[in-house]
Structure 1
Amino acid sequence: MLALRRNQLIFLAAAGSAALMIGALGFQYIGQMPPCKLCYWQRYPHVAAIVIGGLGLIISGRFLPALGALAALATGVIGVYHTGVERAWWEGPSTCTSSGAAGKTASELFDEIMAAPLIRCDEVPWEMFGLSMASWNAVIAFGLAALWVMAARRTD
Structure 2
Amino acid sequence: MLPMLLFAGLAAAAPLFARASEGIWGIAPCELCMWQRWPYWVAAVLALAAAAVPRARRLLAGAAILAVLASGAVAAFHVGVEQGWWPSPLPGCQAPRATLGGSVDDMLKSLSAAPSKPCDAPTYLVAGLPVSMAAMNLLYALGLSGLGLIFWRRGAIP
TM-score by length of 1: 0.79
Whether contact under 8 Å (1:63, 1:152) holds in the other structure is: no
Percent identical pairs in the alignment equals 30
Tell me the secondary structure at the aligned position of residue 92 of structure 2.
coil
**Residue in 2 aligned with 1:4?**
none
Q: Let me know the Cα RMSD of the aligned residues.
A: 2.5
Tell me the secondary structure at the aligned position of residue 65 of structure 2.
helix
Amino acid paired to 2:35: W
Structure 1 residues 39-96: Cα deviation after superposition (integer angstroms, max 9, x where no partner): 1100000111111121111112310111011101000000011111111111012331
For residues 112 and 90 of structure 1, do their structure 2 counterparts lie closer, same or farther at Cα, with a shift above 3 Å needed? farther
**Residue in 2 aligned with 1:118?**
116
Where relative contact order (Cα < 8 A, 6+ residues apart) is larger, the structure is: 1
Amino acid paired to 2:118: R
1:50 aligns to 2:44 (yes or no)? yes
Amino acid paired to 1:22: L
**Residue in 1 aligned with 2:152?**
152
**Residue in 1 aligned with 2:137?**
137
Aligned counterpart for 1:89 among listed residues 85, 91, 104: 85
Whether contact under 8 Å (2:92, 2:116) holds in the other structure is: no
**Residue in 1 aligned with 2:74?**
78
Aligned residue pairs total 146
Whether contact under 8 Å (1:45, 1:74) holds in the other structure is: yes
- How far apart, CA to CA, are the structure 2 residues paired with 1:83 and 1:58? 36
TM-score by length of 2: 0.79
Query: Which runs of 5 or more residues in structure 2 are unaligned?
Result: none
